[in-house]
């Protein structure tokens, strides 16, 4: 996307398997609430457009320098010193969705990002270790090579696309950050 912005575009994979975003709620939310939500989407957008939106799902993007759109939530980081960064997080709720759906989304986010969460804690650990490696000038210990060497192409919007399981978005962000910090854009 340029200028340090990047997106992990999951639409091609989701379109291939045809799983709608609401399929991730199976067994977690009453089926009537899911049906109500899907119907309201169809009523508003039309059946085909609603199905496309639900299959494509939410974004997973980096907006340089510090905003992350991660599926159903926002995360932003605020550096306060060379050795300390505050990380903020806000879940997104679906306007007009049945309460059961938004309650489930909140509970899942609490489980992922709460103090004993299964997602944010390990992300922060990785970031802390990256910073330690950079501080020790041991850049070869920081690997963000997943997907390198895979086939890549430029799509119709001019964005570089790499296959599944790529860290292209992180490499893009950090390469731009390096250019900004070394004065390439001054």
Give residue 36's pLDDT. Answer: 93
Give residue-wise pLDDT tens across range 50-65. Answer: 988 888 877 778 888 8
Question: Looking at per-residue confidence, does 60 or 40 come out higher?
Answer: 40
Give residue-wise pLDDT tens across range 137-180. Answer: 666 666 777 777 766 667 776 666 666 667 777 777 777 877 88
Give residue 40's pLDDT. Answer: 94
Sequence-separated contacts (24+) of 37-44 with Cβ below 8 Å? 37/94, 37/97, 37/98, 37/101, 40/96, 40/97
Distance CA 77, CA 66 (A): 5
Give residue 8's pLDDT. Answer: 72
Give residue 186's pLDDT. Answer: 57
Confidence of residue 44 (pLDDT cuts 50, 70, 90): very high
Q: Minimal CA–CA distance to 101: which of 48, 11, 35?
A: 35
Confidence of residue 5 (pLDDT cuts 50, 70, 90): confident
Second CATH level (architecture) for the domain 6-181:
Alpha-Beta Complex (3.90)
Any idea which of 14-18, 30-34, 65-69, 149-153 has the lowest mean pLDDT?
A: 149-153
pTM, 2 dp? 0.68
For the chain, the domains span 6-181
- Which residues, 6+ apart, have CB-to-CB distance to 105 below 8 Å? 72, 91, 92, 93, 94
Per-residue pLDDT for 49 more than 90?
yes
Give residue 100's pLDDT. Answer: 93
Phi, psi of 139 (to 5 degrees): -60, -30
Q: Where are the alpha helices (DSSP H) in the chain?
A: 11-17, 31-45, 47-56, 99-113, 120-135, 168-181
Distance CA 125, CA 143 (A): 15
Give residue-wise pLDDT tens across range 77-133. Answer: 888 887 788 888 888 888 889 999 999 988 888 888 777 777 777 777 777 777 777
Structural tokens at position 10? 């999951």
């Amino acid at each position: 996307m340029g200028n340090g912005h990047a997106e992990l575009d999951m639409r091609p994979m989701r379109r291939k398997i045809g799983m709608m975003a609401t399929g991730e709620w199976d067994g977690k939310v009453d089926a009537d609430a899911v049906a109500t939500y899907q119907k309201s989407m169809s009523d508003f957008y039309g059946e085909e457009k609603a199905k496309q939106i639900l299959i494509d799902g939410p974004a997973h993007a980096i907006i340089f320098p510090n905003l992350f759109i991660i599926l159903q939530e926002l995360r932003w980081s605020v550096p306060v010193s060379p050795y300390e960064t505050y990380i903020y997080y806000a879940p997104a709720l679906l306007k007009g969705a049945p309460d059961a759906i938004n309650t489930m989304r909140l509970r899942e986010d609490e489980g992922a990002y709460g103090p004993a969460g299964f997602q944010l804690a390990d992300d922060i650990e990785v970031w802390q270790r990256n910073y330690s490696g950079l501080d020790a000038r041991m850049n070869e210990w920081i690997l963000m090579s997943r997907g390198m060497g895979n086939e890549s192409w430029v799509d119709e919007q001019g964005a570089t696309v790499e296959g599944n399981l790529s860290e292209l978005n992180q490499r893009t962000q950090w390469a731009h950050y390096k250019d900004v910090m070394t004065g390439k854009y001054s």
